[in-house]
Amino acid sequence: MASDGEFKAHSPGETIEALTKEAEALKAKLEEERQKLNDVALSTVAERLEVINYLNIKPRRVLKGHQAKVLCSDWSPDKRHIVSSSQDGKMIIWDAFTTNKEHAVTMPTTWVMACAYAPSGNLVACGGLDNKVTVYPLSLEEDVSTKKKTVGTHTSYMSCCTFPNSDQQILTGSGDSTCALWDVESGQLLQNFHGHAGDVMALDLAPSETGNTFVSGSCDRMVLIWDMRTGQCVQSFEGHQSDINSVKFHPSGDAVATGSDDSTCRLFDLRADKEVAIYSKESIIFGVNSVDFSVSGRLLFAGYNDYTVNVWDSLKCIRVTLLYGHENRVSCLQVSPDGTALSTGSWDYTLRVIYLMNSLVFCFVIF
């Protein structure tokens, strides 16, 4: 027994256990306070809206050229070109109208898991198992690979990347559990983002003019909102039961959609500070690899491991339609900048471009 004025020694295990219990108690209290603020479900509010009965969605193009699984793709700001990367170490620039390949670059590594267009459309970035983010200026006059430049290096594979606001900076996510902001010209690390306890699998920029906020999703099942200027996590969400593979801001900037290996998509509202919708069915037992919104935000597109794309009514939380065509898992998808087309990439080595002709895709709904 310790006498008065003396401290009783605790083993590190006991201290951690006590702190863990305290953290769990605080989380429970926080959840209790959140529940008090619950008023009505999103799907209930959306009951007054018309049901989406018919979508005019037409497959138009199949892009063939990769010799292995397509892992990532991104639309050019010109709404015509697509960059895709694959397991075979290739990065291809496509003309989505003609299906022609304008550039094909062989990377020094296989599993090129990330690729992105710069806002100008004159630069693309990619990376993967080499742990690096590499940028390539695009020019029809000369070989793209001769001008390549390594911008930054993580301590594990690079899973995702995007250019925030300009060609001068690039934001990356990695298997080393961090995100990082790099200066493209100097290769200098501008900001590091520590907070995840597992591989970072996806990130997305908030759709605002200032663009100082982004979201990340991880194998630790957490969704984190970051301030790019300070490197601080400003908001966090939990609810998924397995790895989060994709995150996407709602066009309003007030909510984030996620896709996970737990077979669900979810919607987290930044203003309510909680999950407000789950998109799931008992018949869906396969993981979600990628999600994106229509321009209006009314539709949520999700690519699954069972080779399909599910289209959800984001407000009513019901499935509107199911898109078939790929012969292996749909690894990536993205709506074009003008909202008129959806590109999908698959482990069947192909990409497909689908045109979206329905007015509901463009009709803005504020919730």
Domain count across the chain: 1
Q: What is the CATH number of the domain that holds 161?
A: 2.130.10.10
Residue ranges making up the domain that contains 130: 67-194
Residue 55's pLDDT is what? 74
pTM score, whole prediction = 0.87
Task: Assess if residue 148 is contained within a domain.
Answer: yes
Asked if the structure places residue 113 within a domain, the reply is yes
Q: pLDDT value at position 3?
A: 47
- Considering only 24-38, 65-79, 128-142, 327-341, which range has the smallest mean pLDDT? 24-38
- 330-335 and 318-323 beta bridge pairing: unpaired
Contact 314, 300 (CB under 8 A): yes
The pLDDT value recorded for residue 266 is 98
Q: Tell me if 135 is assigned to some domain.
A: yes
Question: Does the pLDDT value for residue 1 go beyond 50?
Answer: no
Question: In the structure, what pLDDT confidence band is assigned to residue 46 with cuts at 50, 70 and 90?
Answer: confident
For range 226-233, the mean pLDDT = 96
CB atoms within 10 A of CB 230: 11
Mean pLDDT of all residues in 207-230: 92
Question: Residue 140: which pLDDT band, with cuts at 50, 70 and 90?
Answer: low
Reply yes or no on whether the pLDDT at 141 is more than 50.
yes
Does the pLDDT value for residue 361 go beyond 60? no
In a domain, 117, yes or no: yes
Domain for residue 107, yes or no? yes
**What's residue 367's pLDDT?**
30
Average of pLDDT values for 27-44? 73
Tell me how long the chain is: 367
Asked if pLDDT for residue 2 goes beyond 80, the answer is no
Query: What is residue 359's predicted lDDT score, i.e. its pLDDT?
Result: 44
Q: Give just the sign of the alpha carbon dihedral 92, 95, 101, 105.
A: negative
